[in-house]
Chains A and B, each alone.
Chain A
């Protein structure tokens, strides 16, 4: 009730009111002059759908608009005050009742939703609303006409009823559906909690029933009396009852309106709505044709008056419409039951399935099954549901599978990554590799083609005077090659470190590799052992590429050495070794076939000629510079073609400054070697005629230091060096034992008495005191202690 007035608190209500009035007029006016049925009373009124449709959509504001519009129209056409007033009230309720009915009526268990005509139930509800509204309004209007003396209730009722009902049905459904599609906002009544009116019909709906009963009773009464008798005072009485009833009905509270479920909210224009519109359009065309045909047919004789003709036509139309609607609704219900609802469920099913990761799995499985069970089987949609379910289960299996496969793949990738790192860390990769060795410079690099490669290089000092160089290429690529490479590299290093010659190393390693070589892998190796003191390189080649040698000031040339068979190819293979003198300034370059067999996009090989050109590009380069030049040249030659093989290179350059003129000997790290070491230093010092006292002091120092190394360092190799000049000597001790820096040792307290004295630490203390300088370094796994003494 309150909303009739409070609605104007919203600004939009004024707009709705004016809009309703204007539209009402705009449609009514042309028809009023063109299709007048009862002059001054009524005509063919498609405008009659306006109150119902606008009422449902906009509520009280539309009611005001329509009733005021009608009032103005009545005043303009000079109607009596009675007609104006009662017409105002009846038209108000004509618009207001549909709104109220929509938000109070509940069909079945369906909750009350804002106006939409997307389901059969909603269409049925709409028809019901229109029927009740038309009935109540028509009864009231017919009573007004009879009370005012225009026309008998009996003769105006059917005409008016069908005038209201037919147009509201025919035009209302498409208009509301269209608005719905446009997401037009519907006016929704305020709901107040009131247990009495919560559900269905309540006693405040009674007035509508009373009015309907009055109408029906008065119609039958008039029929029995012969039809056209007019009884204004009786009609007036009934009219008063009807208006009072309408006034009471205004107090009917609205029901609770539920928001649309999200799924329905998304559907803008449902299949049902489309089918409905289609059926309605067909109906409309059919009705227009029917109207024209029946008007002409009925009017032929001219014995019926206009009113009777239209009454008749309207009756026929009303019945036809209801029949058609009945059929249409049955059809829609069928569509809804068999197509749209299952499709909706299917879409729910899909969504639920897609979202299931966020919920508890068991719950979802159960709900999915329940949903699937509600979709009827036996038709195409049922088949779709079944295949969808199959797809879901297959997808589940696939996902499980995929997860496992992906995890596996990731694990392998990680492992390969680690393998690459392990492989990289197996090759010496810290450069300069021997910073303390000024006699030579060695540099190497490998660029694997895959994650792990089969190429490798190696270099290491066998002892202080022997440098071993290895470059090798394992057949094949990837993990098998890498594994074989590890074995080959380890065996080669182990064998070379025992001090064997290259030939012996290759022969031994060949036999070791041949054992259990089921994979039939093999490896080409070039192995050289360079004697630093003499500059002599002894090398052997097991099926590897020719080394390239540059003599001081000359050019790189291939050294066509004698090849033996590849390692691991044949048991007991023999290898030949050869000697090569490397003088200061000479450079040796070894490489794998990845260098010479690098191919460009046109499949042309890089080749040894290009390699030699690249090697000779710069005069007297350092090894690292040399390798980088060659790599750059290969890269520019290859361009964008993929790299097929590992590219590995190693270069050794003999330096001009060979030594610090230091004499060196290697001794075994035992106390028994002290005499040998002392004799070595004495000989060195005597050459420069060092004073006896200095020799003695150095003797003490050697004793202290060497005994320390022999006792505590755990070294397996010790070398000592001496360089004596006119009045200066440099002594060096190198061992591969535990890192120990004697210069850091705290000095002992030398002021204590004999009984308090502990002998520890005195030795180094004495060395520090008697020698001029004592320096310690730890380089490449070796303790290097250098002593300087002048005299």
Chain B
């Protein structure tokens, strides 16, 4: 999985490419933890993400909890498979998907 990270002021842009699964989720978690300080808007682009597993959900949940305290998190370009995962797991109500 490739993680592209870009910070503009207090906005953090992260775009993911490949699969967010058991083996790759820790990388994303590390990246987010490293950069999330002072961020008020976290924008995640899932356009090139094939799918994510529960390990990925865990990272998203953790990021959402953090952003609930300091700002807002937005996820864009969610494909059908991932949307189904969000729907099934109830994450669709937790996350802000645009």
Contacts and interface: CB of A to CB of B under 8 A. Distances in A.
Interface of A: 671-672, 674-675, 693, 696-697, 699-700, 703-704, 706-707, 750-755, 757, 759, 762-763, 765-766, 769-770
Given A757-B61, A759-B54, 12 more contacts: A671-B22, A697-B81, A700-B51, A700-B53, A704-B54, A707-B53, A750-B91, A752-B90, A754-B68, A755-B65, A763-B55, A766-B89
Contact of B53 (A752, A757, A766, A769): A766
Contact of A751 (B55, B61, B90): B90
Contacts of A757: 61, 94
A703 B68 contact: no
B80 to A, nearest CB: 6
A762 B54 contact: yes
A226 to B, nearest CB: 153
Interface in B52-84: 52-55, 57-58, 61, 64-65, 68, 80-81, 84
Contacts of A675: 23
Task: With a 10 A CB-CB cut-off, give which of A703, A751, A753 has the most chain B CB atoms.
Answer: A703
A674 B85 contact: no
A675 B53 CA distance: 14
A750 B88 contact: yes
A674 B22 contact: yes
Contact of A703 (B21, B81, B89): B21
24 contacts: A672-B23, A674-B21, A675-B23, A693-B81, A697-B51, A699-B21, A699-B50, A703-B19, A707-B21, A707-B55, A750-B88, A750-B90, A751-B90, A752-B90, A754-B61, A757-B94, A759-B54, A759-B58, A762-B57, A762-B58, A763-B53, A763-B54, A766-B85, A766-B89
A685 to B, nearest CB: 14
Contacts of A754: 61, 64-65, 68, 94
B8 interface: no
B98 interface: no
A707 B89 contact: no
Contacts of B64: 754
Give the secondary structure class of A's interface. helix
B19 A699 contact: yes
A8 B54 CA distance: 115
A770 B65 contact: no
B65 to A, nearest CB: 6
A4 to B, nearest CB: 118
B42 to A, nearest CB: 13
Given A700-B51, A704-B53, A750-B88, A759 B21 contact: no
A753 B51 CA distance: 23
A700 B94 contact: no
Given A750-B90, A757-B94, A703 B22 contact: yes
A564 B54 CA distance: 57
A703 B53 contact: yes
B71 to A, nearest CB: 14
B67 to A, nearest CB: 9
A745 to B, nearest CB: 12
A739 B18 CA distance: 33
A674 B23 contact: yes
A744 B80 CA distance: 28
A50 to B, nearest CB: 123
A371 B64 CA distance: 104
Nearest to B19: A699
A693 B19 CA distance: 13
> Which 7 residue pairs are nearest across A and B when measured between Cβ atoms?
A750-B90, A763-B54, A707-B22, A696-B51, A703-B53, A703-B21, A759-B58
B81 A762 contact: no
Contacts of B55: 703, 707, 763
B79 to A, nearest CB: 8
Contacts of B51: 696-697, 699-700
A478 to B, nearest CB: 56
Nearest to B50: A696
B57 A759 contact: yes
A493 B59 CA distance: 46
Nearest to B53: A703
Given A700-B21, A700-B53, A703-B21, A753 B94 contact: yes
B87 to A, nearest CB: 9
A678 to B, nearest CB: 8
B80 A693 contact: yes
Nearest to B95: A754
A703 B19 CA distance: 10
Interface string B5-45: 00000000000000101110000000000000000000000
B84 A770 contact: yes
Nearest to B69: A755
| Listed residue (A671, A754, A763) with the most chain B CB atoms within 10 angstroms of its CB | A754
Contacts of A693: 80-81
A765 B93 CA distance: 17
Contacts of A763: 53-55
Contacts of B65: 754-755
A754 B89 CA distance: 12
A598 to B, nearest CB: 60
Contact of A700 (B61, B68, B85, B91): B85
Contacts of A697: 51, 81, 84
A752 B89 CA distance: 10
A700 B88 contact: no
Contacts of B80: 693
Nearest to A764: B54
A693 B65 CA distance: 29
Contacts of B84: 697, 770
Contacts of B54: 704, 759, 762-763, 766
A750 B64 CA distance: 16
B26 to A, nearest CB: 10
A762 B89 contact: yes
A677 to B, nearest CB: 11
Contacts of B61: 754, 757, 759
Contacts of A759: 54, 57-58, 61
A483 B68 CA distance: 70
Contacts of B81: 693, 696-697, 700
A693 B68 CA distance: 31
Contacts of A752: 90
A697 B82 CA distance: 9
A751 B93 contact: yes
A770 B21 contact: no
